[in-house]
Chains A and B, each alone.
Chain A
Amino acid sequence: MTSIILACGNALRGDDGIGLYLAHQLYGLICDAETEIVCSHQWLPEQAEDLSRARAAVFIDASVAVPAGEIRVQPVPNECAKMAGVTTHALTPNRLMSLARELFGNAPERAFLVTIGASSFEHGSEFSEPVRKAIPAALRQIQDLLFEESVRVG
């Protein structure tokens, strides 16, 4: 496996489901058999093994820390995360990367967290206007990231 996309969220809580929506769209857009797409409510320890088999990773999530509709791409630091006090209900990308490295001996060389600013978390599967407008650009940016990685690793 060259790349892995790990999307999380709740598809029944408005903008929280944007990560899952983008991942499902990417199923149709990516024709690369070397890219695996994993959707879940949260990032959990059992995904560490999947992660350990990839050279590059893209995490996708909604965030209230980013203005609604804004797309933010951040590299996930390839360093050990502090594990003290964490629960198994939800892990950060950094902690999941650390777990992959510690338990399975490998983590992706490069990983990115793509967050989409979200504003509405009401019950339902509708996205707010800013998030809906951000979908084409978010898909483009994620595809660009994956393309760059595939070129880089040859």
Chain B
Amino acid sequence: MDELEAVERLVRQARKEQPPATDATGAVLARLGTPRRTGLLPLSLVAVAASLAAAVVLALAIQVWSAGSDPQAAFYSVVEVTQP
């Protein structure tokens, strides 16, 4: 018997072996659910943060707009005084 025949004889015995029992069903379903949750969570956080930032900027803009005055207003008022 040569080496390869010995290996093949071992293989014939090894084929009778049963692997350890596994039940991956629960873990597979959990993994199938996880991407949806982890995929959406960061996206929704970014959306909320972006909305908050936009609201703050808008509030500041409105405040500045309403408090601001026309820079040429003083010039026009001088012209009005000197004209008879």
- The answer to whether A and B belong to the same complex is no
What is A's interface to B at a CB cutoff of 8 Å?
Answer: none
What is B's interface to A at a CB cutoff of 8 Å?
Answer: none
